[in-house]
Amino acid sequence: MWVAPDEAERIEAALRAARSRSSGEIVCVLARASARYETMPVVWSALIAMALPWPLLIFTHQSAERIFLAQLAVFLVALGVLSLPRLRLSLTPRSVRRSNAHRVALEQFVIRGLTRSKERNTILIYVSLAERYARIIADVGAAKAIGQDQWKGIVDRLADELKAGSASEALIGAAARCGDLLAKNFPPRPGAPAPTVQRFHAL
């Protein structure tokens, strides 16, 4: 796990505390990135290499073999540079990054089995750091009982806290606020055993 063990334990404890106040379930997934974005460096490197012969043909007398070798060298160098994680991400359009993060968030909601509760009151807090993306996905019961503007308020504050400080503190705060909303609408059921699930996942 790339998150420090003590931070993971604190987030897990905050999620357990939030869950104890209601019959709902809260799971949190923190991802470094939602995709590898390997396509754009290849595309840009190919475009750069394809543009190289024109100035060589116009301003030099290089042979076709030398131009081909120069193209190959430029392609490989450009690919190596543009494949650096920060550059690779910046080359990808923002809409594509957000679409990938949204898709992975929905996948995680299903993968973690959050559609199986009787009251359909489970929620997923998903954060992808590379895309600077945060989202709360609520199952149908929680979505009906709690307005979208309330979830959005938590997501907006979570995003602000992620920019200002550590991810662990931001997630702990988000867990507490989600717990407040669930506690108001889904009080705990007396005698109901708490599910033994892992609530925090670092991808």
User: For 113-162, how does the pLDDT look when each residue is reduced to its tens digit (9 = 90+)?
Assistant: 888 888 899 999 999 999 999 999 999 999 999 999 999 999 999 999 99
Residue 141 CA to residue 197 CA, distance in Å, equals 20
> 11 and 72 share a domain?
no
pLDDT digits (tens, 9 = 90+) for 73-109: 999 999 999 999 889 888 999 999 999 999 999 999 9
Instruction: Please count the structural domains in the chain.
Output: 2
Say yes or no: 139 and 62 in one domain. Answer: no
Note whether 57 and 143 are same-domain residues: no
Structural tokens at position 191:
């005698």
b/e per residue, 50-76, with b = 16+ CB within 10 A?
eebeeeeeeeeeeeeeebeebbeebbe
Amino acid 1: pLDDT = 54
Question: What is the residue range of 30's domain?
Answer: 5-35+93-202
Q: Are residues 136 and 67 in the same domain?
A: no
pTM metric for this prediction: 0.84
pLDDT given at position 155: 95
pLDDT at 159: 93
What per-residue confidence (pLDDT) applies to 165? 79
CA–CA distance, 203 with 193 (Å, rounded to integer): 28
Instruction: Specify the pLDDT at position 85.
Output: 85
Mean of pLDDT over the chain: 90
Q: What are phi and psi of 125, to 5 degrees?
A: -100, 115
pLDDT at 193 over 90: no
Q: Which residues of 97-110 are buried (b: 16+ CB within 10 A; e: fewer)?
A: bbebbbebbeebbe
Using only the alpha carbons of the chain, give its radius of gyration. Answer: 23
Tell whether the model's pLDDT for residue 191 goes beyond 70.
no
- Joined together, the tokens standing for residue 184 give 């108001």
